[in-house]
Structures are given as structure tokens and as C-alpha cells.
Amino acid sequence: MFSQRRKFLVGSTCGLGLMGLGKAISLFAANNSSLAEQRVLEFSRLVEGTVIGPDDSGYEGARRTFSFNPRFSKFPALVVRCAAESDVIRTIAFARENELPIAVRSGGHDVMAASSSDGGIIIDLQQLAKIDINGQRVNVGPGVRAGQLDFQLGNAGRALPLVCNPSVGTGGLTLGGGLGWFVGTQGAACDKLTSARVITVDGRAIIASNEQNQDLFWALRGGGGNFGIVTEMEFETFSKPEVIAGVVVYDARLLKEFLAFYQDFMSTAPDELTVEVVAYDGEVPMVAAMAYYSGDDRRAEAVLEPLRSFGPPLADGIRKQEYGRTGVLAPDVAPHFTTPNVELTNEPRENGLYWQGISISSLNEQTINSIDDAMNSAPRGWTFGLGHIMRGAVTQVESETSPLNRPFGSMTVHFDIGWAHNSQAAECMNWVDSSIDSLKVSASQHDYINYMSTDNHDAVMAAYGENYSRLAQIKQVYDVDNVLNGNRNIRPNESNY
């Protein structure tokens, strides 16, 4: 199917596809466009997947990331939807020959759109989406969505600690850590990685594992997309657990009390319980606890009771569920999850969304007051989320095993907001920025890299702390020219201390 579309793109001299590629050519070779045109066409013929340029009908969808953020709106010269590993190798070579910046995309959920590029080339791996389960191990393409993998593993009686949102890509998730429902008992997604197949920036296919290229393997377990392009990952799975999970909804006016309760409650909760908090300005503003308990059934009632009696709740959807199929909301909970309210005016509609995240060291009184103030001053359409508490198994991994920092008790917070008209964008984005700023006094020393919504280099260095220098040495070995730099960048041979 992809090669057929490619043939259309490059085979028709007056077709939409060729016009698209023509504009791509002019974006990066204005001074010698006929030579560039020739190169792009030759490249397109060699690629098994699809090459998409700015005038192609699929360009808008292809350039955008899931978490589209207007401050990071980018316009790549080309998007290459790779259908095979050979496409990855060809695209790296083509990008380097033509001095095009490279962005790598698996699931496209990067919160600062690092998997898109202005004037560069996106190596899109969404089609590399195989799932092969072999006993306790599973081999996974980077384009596989976490929810797909959970579902298929569940069918095979196995499980992995992935993520709370099923649409996130396993590629970016694992390379940056991966914090989900089993963080307390199984650790992060990267902790279950047993090997990875990597295409280096000079086009070699190598394996990183505890037996081969050990330094690279260490760096891949939390060091992000800095070291090469991962085309396949192998994970060690665990037996599918029994799960008691669901959403408890409370009145949004209780947010402040709920956050104080949540901090106390989670500080003594067993590692088998994960609770993520989301609050938003739906038809009726609400705050919800999303609970996931994978421990002993007989203890479940006692463990979950405080959460189920706080408030009291407006709705309680906690019930026995199946790992890999927990996405469906209970009937009495679903009506509370209405689309956030946005203010409508007579202007033409142009929806937008803006998201920023930060890691905080704990939920103290000052932090709770700042969150409450932020909610009270929010324009319509706000959302707030909190969770991924570093506790239990995830904090027991040594830095010799993974560069991901895991400060005990730290957690992620995010604010996001949607709007309906361009004239509202500035106010909405300013609200998110000032809400995040108000939490900076409580910021964790080490931001969680997958939620970091800035490419500020000092923040990246701080996130890795003492591990940064080793990562920089490994970068020097695998990417001395810093070809892969559109990410939370680790610079070759740079020392942190």
C-alpha cells in the first residue's frame, strides 16, 4: 500500500505528490532546486514507505504531533513514513548528505513536538509496529502504541509496565523512561528493556543489550533519542496480574482538600496502588482519581476505602477489570467526562491546545495553594493533571543500570488548556506558563525527561544530574557530530561537573 502511494507521489509529473515534493525541495535547496529535485525523486524511488512533502494532502496530519502545541508548530521539508528498517538507513544518509536536520517519531506524543522539525526531515516509525510475543519476552516495533501492546500481552497472559495513556508510542516512552500503572511494583518501561536494535547515525544496524554495546544499552534506558534510531525493542514481561481499577469523581470545589488528602494517602499506600489525578473544566468542573490496584484481592477493599469515601464522591467506577482492557469508563462515571468547556465568540472557530509539565518534589501546602490559585484564575477550558509518583520498584533501580533519575516521592504535574478562537490563545497560554512558573519553587531537582516541555539545556543537564557526563561520553562514541539533536539534547563529550 505504501509503495503504491509512493509511486503515485513521484510517478506523476503534475500530480499533487510531486508538487508537494517540489515545495520540499525549494525549502532546503533554494539555490539549486533542479539538483535537489533530482535527489529527492531518486530518494523517493528507493524508499519502500511514503515520502510526504508540504503540498501533499497528508502533509498537515504528517507534520503534526499528537500533543500539538502552537509554540512548537513546525514545518518539515519532508516526512518519511518508513515501512522497513532499510528506509531508516536510507533516510539518515539522505538527510546527512543534504544537511537536513533529523527528527525521529514513534508515536508522536512528544510534549514539545521534538518529533517534528522546521525545514528538516521526519523519520516516522509509526509503521514499524510489529508485536512478537515469545514466552516471557516480547519484541516490539517502536511505532506500537502502548495500549495495543497492553492488549496483546494481556491476551497472552503477560504484562509490561508501560504508561497510563494508551495512545503513547512505545518508542519515545521507553527511551525516556515510561511511568505507568505498575511503577511501584515493576518500575519503568525502560527497566524491562532487554535489548534494542539501533541504527546509528552512520547507518549501521547494531544491537544494544547487557551482552553487546553495554554502554549504549545503559544510555537507551532513559537517555532519550540521542544515540541512534531504535527500530526494535525486546522486553522481559511479567505474568498478567489481577486488577481492580477505575475512576472516582469528586466535586472540583474540593480540589484543595483532595490534594492534601492525596499526599497523605499515597505516602502510606502500598506499592501495588497507583493513583493519577485529573481535574478539568467540563460541563460541570470535576476532579477525579484514576486508581489502579494490582495487589492481593483480599486487601483491595481496605486499600481503596479512603479514596472511595473522600468527599463523598459524585461517582465511583472502581471495579474488577482486566489488564490491557481498562480504558472503558463505568456508566455512572462517563457522564462526568464531558469535553472541557471553551468560551465561544462570533469569531471563526480555530481550536488550539497548549500543554506544559513539570516535576515537583512533593505536594506541600505551598504547592497545593499554587495549584488552587491557578485553577481559580483559569480561563475556560482548563485541565490539570498530577501523578507518576516515584515510589517502590522504580526507585530501587541503581544508576549503573539506567540514567533515569528517580527521586523518591517526586511527581509530575501538568496544566493544559484548549480554546476555540485564536484571539483566546495568548491568555490561555499565559495561564499555563504562569501556573507552571508558580510551581518552580517546589520543582524536583531532576525533571522527568518525558514530561519536560522545554529544550533548555541547563534543565536537561539537571534532569540527568551525575549521569549526564557518562551520557555525553556515550554520545561522543555514537553521534560525535550531534546529528540527533532535536531532543532533550545530550552534547558529545560535555561534562556536567
Ligand X SMILES: Cc1cc2nc3c(=O)[nH]c(=O)nc-3n(C[C@H](O)[C@H](O)[C@H](O)COP(=O)(O)OP(=O)(O)OC[C@H]3O[C@@H](n4cnc5c(N)ncnc54)[C@H](O)[C@@H]3O)c2cc1C
Q: Which residues bind ligand X (CB under 6 A)?
A: 65-67, 104-111, 114-115, 125, 142, 163-165, 168-169, 171-173, 175-180, 224-225, 229-230, 450, 487
Neighbours of 432 (CB within 10 A): 25
Report how far Cα 314 is from the mean position of its chain's Cα atoms.
31
Evaluate whether 160 touches 233 at the Cβ level (below 8 Å): no
> Largest Cα–Cα distance of the chain, in whole Å?
72
Which candidate, 161, 220, 160, 226, places its Cα nearest to that of 196?
220
Nearer to ligand X, 171 or 282 (CB): 171
* Minimum distance, C-beta of residue 32 to ligand X, in the bound complex (Å): 30
Nearer to ligand X, 10 or 291 (CB): 291
Q: What is the 3-state secondary structure (H, E, C) of 133-196?
A: EECCEEEECCCCEHHHHHHHHHHCCEECCCCCCCCCEHHHHHHHCCCCCCCCCCCCHHHHEEEE
Q: 407 CB contacts (<8 Å, ≥6 apart)?
A: 361, 390, 395, 444, 445, 446
* Minimum distance, C-beta of residue 170 to ligand X, in the bound complex (Å): 7
* Minimum distance, C-beta of residue 85 to ligand X, in the bound complex (Å): 11
Nearer to ligand X, 177 or 317 (CB): 177
Nearer to ligand X, 85 or 272 (CB): 85
* Minimum distance, C-beta of residue 252 to ligand X, in the bound complex (Å): 21
Which candidate, 161, 162, 322, places its Cα nearest to that of 242?
322
- Strand order of the β-sheet with 50-52 is 50-52, 78-81, 121-124, 102-105
Q: Which three cell numbers stand for residue 270?
A: 502500598
Nearer to ligand X, 180 or 187 (CB): 180
Nearer to ligand X, 53 or 147 (CB): 147
Nearer to ligand X, 190 or 443 (CB): 190
* Minimum distance, C-beta of residue 42 to ligand X, in the bound complex (Å): 25
Evaluate whether 243 touches 290 at the Cβ level (below 8 Å): no
